[in-house]
Copies of this chain bind each other. A is one copy, B any other.
Amino acid sequence: MESAPKQGDEGAPDAWIEFEPDVLDALRGIEPGDELVLLTWFDRADRGALMTHPRGDTSRPEAGVFTTRSPHRPNPIGLHRVEVLSIEGLRMKVNHLEALDGTPIVDVKPVLSADASER
């Protein structure tokens, strides 16, 4: 993350991501303007959490974590839809990434129309 992040449209900051050298080829073809799904590993999550108050609102009854996007879940993988702002070699700047500094990125995928909601 940048030290003084600009706020994105959805309240999450722009962020710099740095990839490991051994995946450089996997990034080939990614360009500014591309919409991507980033998968992160919430390495500071409580993997024993099975139920939680939706959106952290304790006035709401607990629900299974699989009905929420809470980071605290058995396999704490995060899904983040972002737009590429710039990419240079192993460094990529994206918008709208809500994740703690240092959170590992475990996969990158293009957004597909099949992901789209009809709503």
Whether the Cβ atoms of A10 and B114 lie closer than 8 Å is yes
Question: Is A28 close to B, CB under 8 A?
Answer: yes
Q: Chain A, interface size: which category?
A: 35 or more
Give the oligomeric copy count.
2
Which residues of B have CB within 8 Å of A79? 37, 39, 79, 109, 115
Which residues of B have CB within 8 Å of A35? 117
19 extra interface residue pairs, beta carbon distance < 8 Å, beyond A27-B66, A28-B63: A23-B66, A23-B74, A25-B64, A26-B51, A26-B73, A27-B64, A28-B67, A30-B67, A36-B66, A66-B109, A68-B110, A69-B109, A75-B106, A77-B77, A79-B79, A79-B109, A79-B115, A115-B115, A116-B119
